[in-house]
Chains A and B, each alone.
Chain A
Amino acid sequence: MYETTYHRAESVADAATRLAGAEDGKLLAGGQTLLPTMKQRLAAPSDVIDLTHIADLKGIAETGGGVRIGAATTHAEVAGSEIVKRLLPGLAALAGHIGDPHVRHRGTIGGSLANNDPAADYPSAVLALGAVIHTYTRQLPAEEFFAGMFETALDEGEIITAVEFPAATASAYAKYPNPASRYAMAGVFVARLGDGGVRVAVTGAGQDGVFRHEGMEQALAGNFAAEALDGIAVDADEMLSDIHGSAEYRAHLVTVMAKRAVAACG
């Protein structure tokens, strides 16, 4: 790791000020991606601004129609939250399978979303559930937030403060992990929303990061059953291919995982 300057932010405003004052600052949310990247000397921020001691960024609360999760809430806290388990069991299960137990004690939802790793789990839930990302300055609907691999609609220096999820009638996530990294090779979040609509979001498999699959959504809106997905092909040309699996394999896995998520919705 290159030398850096550590800041412990006391408030979001403080964090914003420190970030603005840094030559090449980075926000440190859980650090479970940023710190390994810095250790490999693949990132060299002049300053890191630690958000995890800001009380306003923590906690899980039931809102009128859903749940609001502070950006610095850890994966373990989301997985263990009674509110999340009751309203969005798929989201709780997803959080409970991110990384490993030690990672889940440090990694945060805000950090995961800001990084938008194409194999991260949370983006699929955010997109499928139509969550709203709250930042220090504005609110961004999920559709507008994700902008391809490791890219988001966040402005330079913009800090995520919370994510607000609407409740769903049913939700489930099925992930096929990369055997080595255990990141998603194909992770599919299926949500059945209050209006009867179904949304299917896929992470890990696509070349441009998380995406929705409209063909599956339409099929499931008509018949919310795994069989409804029979014969719905995922375009392999848009899938990633690497030493762990071909694009064809990933395309196939997307359908398999989608079926499993539907089945898990019960």
Chain B
Amino acid sequence: MTSSAEGIGARVTRREDKRFVTGKGRYTDDMTVPGMAHAAFVRSPHAHAKVTSLDASAARAMPGVEAVLTSEELVADGVGNLICGWMIHSKDGSPMKMGAWRALEGDTVRHVGQAVAVVVADTPARARDAADAVVVEYEPLDAVVDALDALKPGAPQLHPEAEGNLIYDWEIGDQATTDAAFASAAHVTRMEIRNNRLVPNAMEPRAALASYDEAEEHYTLWTTSQNPHVARLVLSAFYNIAPEHKLRVIAPDVGGGFGSKIFIYPEEMVCLWASKKTGLPVKWAADRTEAFLTDAHGRDHHSEAELALDADNRITGFRVKTVANLGAYMSLFSSSVPTYLYATLLSGQYAIPAIHANVKAVYTNTTPVDAYRGAGRPEATYLVERVMETAAREVGMDPAEFRRKNFVRSFPHQTPVIMCYDAGDYDASLDAALQAIDYAGFAARKAEAASRGKLRGIGFSCYIEACGIAPSQAVGSLGAGVGLWESAEVRVNPVGTIEVLTGSHSHGQGHETTFAQLVSDRFGVGLDTVSIVHGDTDKVQFGMGTYGSRSGAVGMSAIVKALDKVEAKAKKLAAHLMEAAEGDITLEGGTFKVAGTDKELPFFQVALAAYTAHNMPEGMEPGLKEGAFYDPTNFTFPAGTYICEVEIDPDTGKTEIVDFVAADDFGTIINPMIVEGQVHGGLTQGIGQALLENAAYDEDGQLLSGSYMDYCMPRADDVPSYRLMTTVTTCPGNPLGMKGCGEAGAIGSPPAVINAITDAIGSNDLVMPATPAAVWQAIRQGRTAEAAE
């Protein structure tokens, strides 16, 4: 492998930025097609109700209205129900209970905002006017919004398929050995832990533009997707929209995803169907209110956790019971999030001999819940790291040393919950963070803050996550409906420029830069000669898309495999052209050389020779273009230590993060600037969860925080500048040694913040988000309790 100034490890500014800073980005809602009509959905104002009648006559008569389409026509046309693509079996062996989910519902609505009809009209405003004129009568039913309530006897029932609203009752780990560990424990720490529900809030609301070509019987869909090929697969294989070769899905510039744009939603299905039905291209662009009501939410767990320690403060067992709220329907990957993406990480960075977890997934009359940045791993990390901090306090150990005492130190390490950690150095990241924060100086800082009337606290989080999803055979055995490989194609053009077609999708991650850096590094060619092509099923051969921090570890590995093939062929050709032995050919700085001689050929000349095909080795095909599929051999395990210091104003309860240090091990880093950006963003989302964000419902299932007036998005003055550092153990499982960096910040930060606050106020009785009101209340309760003693 050669390297270049623009190669792996270089802090290269992004090539995609010019279009974004000049307003030339092209997002789905920027697209227009001649004759385009606009869709507006009629949505349920009730969380749970029978639809008793629907009268669209007035709406159909309104100016500009092309059609009002309902559930009845959707079903009659054979459009399939939405599906969850990951089968989970309960501990009794029974399959998960999936209730029917139609893109338009005509019988029973189960969450506020569920679509019952769609209007297609000539302008968005007229479509909305007509949607308001569709008269729908409902018979309201009792609603249930909290997962614990939904499990109680007598709770309102959502789906006939799921008795007691229970989707599955799943377990992992060995219950008997875990119970035995508790029976002989010297100390047990017990906690009830709530992980708050979040709304992803990518800044670009979802949108779709569907265009049906009657002559070709072919559909084109522009949509806000993190994985256009998966969208095509699901739309064709499960929803009967069109066979794959008659459906092109394009995900152009996408304004953030964070998981919420993985899934296939009712709206893009309906736009495709309505386009054929009306003969018009149909566009829909969500407003933020629709985003709050219909984008898959994240998190929402109630858990009980127990940690068993021996007399030497070593962990001997961990027992967890979690109830996960999946909302009104099972979204595409929802079943996997509180199971295989969550409970498999309950060992944290620690050597724990026995773990048992039980997870019940539950229907409620709320927006469906699915993967949101971190997806299961933030819930696991929050649980583990809150319990670790609390246990340290209970046994009187320094929280850093308590963690260190229990770290995994030999690799590979098989946990009791499936995962086999391949590499890591948890002492290294803890040491780096401790040094950066000046842990020894904390007591003095706390005293100084106290002199200003502020409560200062420090909190730790030593997180681990599993990324790079995932080995197809392994996930298949666990219930996944798809393989989770990635594919790439490298096309060397006759003039030597290179196009890389990738199934990974870039919606902020900077692939157009980092993927090109890989090629530059590998072939010693300039970045300006490399293009990255993604997001279009007609251009890119196949792909599984971008989520789970997989684009580097999996997507780039596929590119490496394709580059290997290109290099092998080019070397063979160069050897032939220079009349040398293939084994003597090297590729340095964009030039093929014959070792030990002054013979050389520039990269482009070899490319040209491949296409002129005038002088090829015997049997070699013309051209220089290779494709590859890469299937991971294991998950990757990014890990690190975050330390947060807060100061709290006891008069208002307001928390200020005065210092935040993040020491991450992401393995090989392609572009430090971009990796830092990913961490900054993840940290802010995690701090948002810890301090600000909460999707709150009232008991009738109305979303109380359904706009930015009430859902508190982190703003610039809510968060600090961060201090980042990395330690490196490379991942042995993939060719570049990458682990992934996209979710770490969101996974690791919430417990660090809450541990710091509970340290500052001296009370552990606090749930996320730790709003000023909540912290003030906790301080007051703590003082009342103290006074009572």
Contacts from A to B (Cβ < 8 Å)? 1-3, 40-41, 176, 179-181, 243-246, 249, 252-253, 256
Cα–Cα, bound, A244→B128 (Å): 32
Neighbouring A residues of B651 by C-beta, 8 Å: 256
CB distance from A125 to the nearest CB of B (A): 21
Cα–Cα, bound, A252→B777 (Å): 11
Selecting from B101-109, B235-243, B548-556, B702-710, the interface stretch reads: B702-710
Q: Given the known inter-chain contacts A1-B125, A256-B651, please indicate yes or no for A245 contacting B773, CB distance below 8 A.
A: yes
Cα–Cα, bound, A180→B773 (Å): 13
| A243/B289 in contact, CB under 8 A | no
Given contacts A179-B718, A180-B712, 19 further A-B contacts (CB under 8 A): A2-B129, A3-B125, A40-B289, A41-B132, A179-B712, A179-B771, A180-B692, A180-B708, A180-B709, A180-B711, A181-B709, A243-B704, A244-B773, A245-B771, A249-B773, A249-B777, A253-B652, A256-B651, A256-B652
Neighbouring B residues of A176 by C-beta, 8 Å: 652, 772
Q: Which residue of A lies closest to B715 (CB)?
A: A182
B776 within 8 A of A: yes
> Of residues 549 to 601 in B, which have CB atoms within 8 Å of A's CB atoms?
none
User: Pick the contact of B710 from A3, A181, A245, A246 — CB < 8 Å?
Assistant: A181
Closest 6 CB pairs of A and B: A245-B773, A180-B712, A181-B709, A256-B651, A179-B712, A249-B773
Cα–Cα, bound, A246→B775 (Å): 12
Neighbouring A residues of B696 by C-beta, 8 Å: 243
Q: Given the known inter-chain contacts A41-B132, A243-B696, A253-B652, please indicate yes or no for A181 contacting B708, CB distance below 8 A.
A: yes
> Of residues 694 to 726 in B, which have CB atoms within 8 Å of A's CB atoms?
694, 696, 704-705, 708-713, 718
Neighbouring B residues of A256 by C-beta, 8 Å: 651-652
Neighbouring A residues of B773 by C-beta, 8 Å: 244-246, 249
Neighbouring B residues of A179 by C-beta, 8 Å: 692, 712, 718, 771-772
Neighbouring A residues of B289 by C-beta, 8 Å: 40
Q: Which residue of A lies closest to B704 (CB)?
A: A243
Cα–Cα, bound, A41→B125 (Å): 11
Neighbouring A residues of B132 by C-beta, 8 Å: 41
Neighbouring A residues of B704 by C-beta, 8 Å: 243
CB distance from B453 to the nearest CB of A (A): 12
| B129/A243 in contact, CB under 8 A | no
> Of residues 635 to 690 in B, which have CB atoms within 8 Å of A's CB atoms?
651-653
Cα–Cα, bound, A245→B696 (Å): 13
Cα–Cα, bound, A223→B129 (Å): 60
28 A-B contact pairs sorted by A residue (CB < 8 Å): A2-B129, A3-B125, A3-B129, A41-B128, A41-B132, A176-B772, A179-B692, A179-B771, A179-B772, A180-B692, A180-B708, A180-B709, A180-B710, A181-B708, A181-B710, A243-B696, A243-B704, A243-B705, A243-B710, A244-B710, A245-B771, A245-B772, A245-B773, A246-B777, A249-B653, A249-B773, A249-B777, A256-B652
CB distance from B59 to the nearest CB of A (A): 15
Neighbouring B residues of A180 by C-beta, 8 Å: 692, 705, 708-713
Cα–Cα, bound, A179→B708 (Å): 10
Cα–Cα, bound, A211→B62 (Å): 47
CB distance from B480 to the nearest CB of A (A): 37
CB distance from B663 to the nearest CB of A (A): 29
Q: Which residue of B lies closest to A100 (CB)?
A: B715
Neighbouring B residues of A246 by C-beta, 8 Å: 773, 777
Q: Which residue of A lies closest to B769 (CB)?
A: A179
Q: Render B740-773 as a binary contact track against A, CB cut-off 8 A, 1 for contact.
A: 0000000000000000000000000000000111
Q: Given the known inter-chain contacts A40-B289, A253-B652, A256-B652, please indicate yes or no for A244 contacting B771, CB distance below 8 A.
A: yes
Q: Which residue of A lies closest to B711 (CB)?
A: A180
Cα–Cα, bound, A243→B711 (Å): 10
Cα–Cα, bound, A63→B600 (Å): 87
CB distance from B693 to the nearest CB of A (A): 9
Cα–Cα, bound, A252→B289 (Å): 33
CB distance from A244 to the nearest CB of B (A): 6
Neighbouring A residues of B128 by C-beta, 8 Å: 41
Neighbouring A residues of B709 by C-beta, 8 Å: 180-181
Cα–Cα, bound, A1→B40 (Å): 13
Cα–Cα, bound, A154→B545 (Å): 59
Cα–Cα, bound, A1→B132 (Å): 11
Neighbouring A residues of B710 by C-beta, 8 Å: 180-181, 243-244
Interface centre among B125, B132, B712 (most CB of A within 10 A): B712
Cα–Cα, bound, A243→B703 (Å): 11
Cα–Cα, bound, A2→B710 (Å): 24
Neighbouring B residues of A40 by C-beta, 8 Å: 289
CB distance from B582 to the nearest CB of A (A): 64
CB distance from A263 to the nearest CB of B (A): 12
CB distance from A247 to the nearest CB of B (A): 11
CB distance from A120 to the nearest CB of B (A): 14
Neighbouring B residues of A3 by C-beta, 8 Å: 125, 129
Neighbouring B residues of A1 by C-beta, 8 Å: 125
CB distance from A161 to the nearest CB of B (A): 30
Neighbouring A residues of B712 by C-beta, 8 Å: 179-180
CB distance from A128 to the nearest CB of B (A): 21
Cα–Cα, bound, A250→B125 (Å): 40
Neighbouring B residues of A41 by C-beta, 8 Å: 128, 132
Cα–Cα, bound, A179→B714 (Å): 9
> Of residues 110 to 151 in B, which have CB atoms within 8 Å of A's CB atoms?
125, 128-129, 132
> Of residues 766 to 788 in B, which have CB atoms within 8 Å of A's CB atoms?
771-773, 776-777
Cα–Cα, bound, A245→B289 (Å): 23
CB distance from A183 to the nearest CB of B (A): 8
Neighbouring B residues of A244 by C-beta, 8 Å: 710, 771, 773
Neighbouring A residues of B777 by C-beta, 8 Å: 246, 249
Q: Which residue of B lies closest to A257 (CB)?
A: B652
Cα–Cα, bound, A176→B776 (Å): 14
Neighbouring A residues of B125 by C-beta, 8 Å: 1, 3
Q: Render B3-30 as a binary contact track against A, CB cut-off 8 A, 1 for contact.
A: 0000000000000000000000000000
Cα–Cα, bound, A253→B651 (Å): 8
CB distance from A187 to the nearest CB of B (A): 13
CB distance from A98 to the nearest CB of B (A): 15
Cα–Cα, bound, A175→B710 (Å): 18
Q: Which residue of A lies closest to B772 (CB)?
A: A179
User: Pick the contact of A249 from B129, B718, B776 — CB < 8 Å?
Assistant: B776
Neighbouring B residues of A245 by C-beta, 8 Å: 771-773
Cα–Cα, bound, A179→B718 (Å): 9
Cα–Cα, bound, A179→B691 (Å): 10
Cα–Cα, bound, A180→B201 (Å): 14
CB distance from B43 to the nearest CB of A (A): 13
Q: Which residue of B lies closest to A176 (CB)?
A: B652
Neighbouring B residues of A243 by C-beta, 8 Å: 694, 696, 704-705, 710
Interface centre among A1, A176, A179, A181 (most CB of B within 10 A): A179
CB distance from A149 to the nearest CB of B (A): 16
Q: Which residue of B lies closest to A252 (CB)?
A: B776
Cα–Cα, bound, A246→B652 (Å): 13
CB distance from B181 to the nearest CB of A (A): 41
CB distance from B376 to the nearest CB of A (A): 26
Cα–Cα, bound, A7→B709 (Å): 29
CB distance from B123 to the nearest CB of A (A): 11
Neighbouring A residues of B713 by C-beta, 8 Å: 180
Q: Which residue of B lies closest to A255 (CB)?
A: B651
Neighbouring A residues of B692 by C-beta, 8 Å: 179-180
